[in-house]
Amino acid sequence: MKYVDEFRDPEQARKWLGKISALAKLAQAGKDRPLHIMEVCGGHTHTIFRYGIKQMLPQEIELVHGPGCPVCVLPMGRVDDCVALAEHPEVILTTFGDAMRVPGSQKSLHQAKAEGADVRMVYSPTDALSIARKHPDKEVVFFALGFETTMPSTALTVLQAEEEGIGNFSLFCNHITIIPTIKAILDSPDLQLDGFLGPGHVSMIIGQHPYSFIAKQYKKPLVISGFEPLDILQSIWMILSQLKEHRHEIENQYGRIVQSEGNHNALSAIEKVFEVREFFEWRGLGSIEHSGVRVREGYARYDAERKFSIPNLKIADPKSCQCGEVLRGTLKPKDCKVFGTTCKPETPLGALMVSTEGACAAYYSYGQIDSNQIIS
């Protein structure tokens, strides 16, 4: 398939792996542990496991799976609020597919649907708006999720609703923003990270400048990376090159999509509709300053949190769940106390077991290969 297979060519992969192996020892020199490179984005985690990249890398490199799976970091209380919204008799709740199974404290949206709530899977917020047009007698709520990648489409949908004067459409806004969270990770005392694979699609919107502090202040290299397996290998090589040369810069491997200034139109739509929240709760990581956005006052009538009464309760993560340590990169999924025992993809306890982009689900489904130790 054109424009896909070129980025998955095993011949090219061998070449890049050769270059990575040649650099790895030099880049790791002076360290008594492997290099820890965090892929921030869940899309990268998915690619790494799906193509078996983890097993292809030399032992000097360990990949740490970061917090960039928006479904995974959604706190239980927010899922409960969403379920409560879905259970309003006049509401049609619309959501992206992978948010359906995220467990709340009582149930997931999937279970709420089974109990009779009108929950519909959509692929874009504009599909939710179409449902609102078709059902003027119902209130259509869109479960708005994701980082800057999905924020512009939500913002543009609100602007579209306003232009058409559609009054029965609103957002339950859970959009989050990655920069404060990377900062929180960098500030954690048990930090052992040597570099970052930067999120490609978020960067397509925000550009590369917002990452500058990572290089300047924290002196870590970050390479914005695409999502195909060759993108990942090339980006890892770029990080190793920086480490070997003692550089720490923000570089862009995903030049075919990401421009250094980002996408102006998308950013202005976000700016128009959303404002930064003081705090937002992340599953496993706790409350992080300025890490979420909400609908601005001017668009209050499209804000489900203002339109409906919701419980808005804080629910603590299950005690045995160690998602936080995994998200910060200090614990490997398989070393978590409940991994594969009480926490499995069929019955996820922690959020990282829910989505295929979650580190634990990826380990569970694709990754147990290393524990078997027999692959030639």
Partner 1 sequence: MRDLIENVIVKSFDNPALTPLEDQARFDLKELTCRGDRLAFTTDSYVVDPLFFPGGDIGTLSVNGTINDLAMGGAVPLYLSCGFILEEGLPIETLRQVTESMKQEAEKSQVSIVTGDTKVVPRGAADKMFVNTAGIGVIPKEVDIASTRAKPGDLVILNGFIGDHGAAILIARGDLSLESSVESDCQSLSRLVQAMLKVCPDIHCLRDATRGGVATVLNEFAQSSGVCIKMDETKIPIRDEVRGVCEILGLDPLYLANEGILLAIVPRDCAEQVVETMRFLPEGQNSMIIGEVVEAPAKRVVMKTSFGGERIVDMMVGEQLPRIC
Residues that bind partner 1 (CB under 8 A): 1, 4, 8, 10, 13-14, 43, 46, 49-56, 70-71, 96-101, 110, 120-123, 127, 145-147, 149-150, 201, 229, 345-346, 355-357, 364-369, 372, 374-375
Instruction: Return d(Cα 132, Cα 120) in angstroms, integer.
Output: 12
**Closest distance to partner 1 from the beta carbon of 93 (Å):** 15
**Closest distance to partner 1 from the beta carbon of 57 (Å):** 10
- Inter-residue contact 184 to 154 (CB < 8 Å): no
Residue 308, judged by CB atoms within 10 A of its CB (0-12, 13-18, 19+), counts as: middle
**Closest distance to partner 1 from the beta carbon of 173 (Å):** 15
- Give the pairing type, strands 139-146 and 91-95: parallel
**Closest distance to partner 1 from the beta carbon of 170 (Å):** 19
Q: Which CB, 55 or 212, lies closer to partner 1?
A: 55
Q: Which CB, 14 or 216, lies closer to partner 1?
A: 14
**Closest distance to partner 1 from the beta carbon of 123 (Å):** 5
Instruction: Return d(Cα 131, Cα 125) in angstroms, integer.
Output: 10
Question: Tokens 């920069």 identify what position?
Answer: 179
Instruction: Return d(Cα 139, Cα 89) in angstroms, integer.
Output: 9
**Closest distance to partner 1 from the beta carbon of 281 (Å):** 19
Q: Which CB, 97 or 298, lies closer to partner 1?
A: 97
- Inter-residue contact 174 to 78 (CB < 8 Å): yes
Q: Which CB, 7 or 213, lies closer to partner 1?
A: 7
Instruction: Return d(Cα 81, Cα 86) in angstroms, integer.
Output: 9
Residue 265, judged by CB atoms within 10 A of its CB (0-12, 13-18, 19+), counts as: exposed
Q: Which residues contact 134 (CB under 8 A, 6 or more apart)?
A: none
**Closest distance to partner 1 from the beta carbon of 338 (Å):** 17
**Closest distance to partner 1 from the beta carbon of 52 (Å):** 2
Q: Which CB, 260 or 365, lies closer to partner 1?
A: 365
Q: Which CB, 53 or 359, lies closer to partner 1?
A: 53
**Closest distance to partner 1 from the beta carbon of 97 (Å):** 3
Question: Tokens 């998602």 identify what position?
Answer: 323
Q: Which residues contact 271 (CB under 8 A, 6 or more apart)?
A: none
Q: Which CB, 179 or 191, lies closer to partner 1?
A: 179
- Inter-residue contact 343 to 353 (CB < 8 Å): yes
Q: Which CB, 297 or 347, lies closer to partner 1?
A: 347
Phi-psi map region of 330: left, alpha, beta (phi>0 left; psi -120 to 50 alpha): alpha
Instruction: Return d(Cα 66, Cα 40) in angstroms, integer.
Output: 4
3-state class of 242 per DSSP?
helix
Closest Cα to residue 300, out of 176, 177, 173? 173
Instruction: Return d(Cα 284, Cα 188) in angstroms, integer.
Output: 13
Q: Which CB, 72 or 321, lies closer to partner 1?
A: 72
Q: Which CB, 212 or 365, lies closer to partner 1?
A: 365
End-to-end C-alpha distance for the chain, whole angstroms: 29
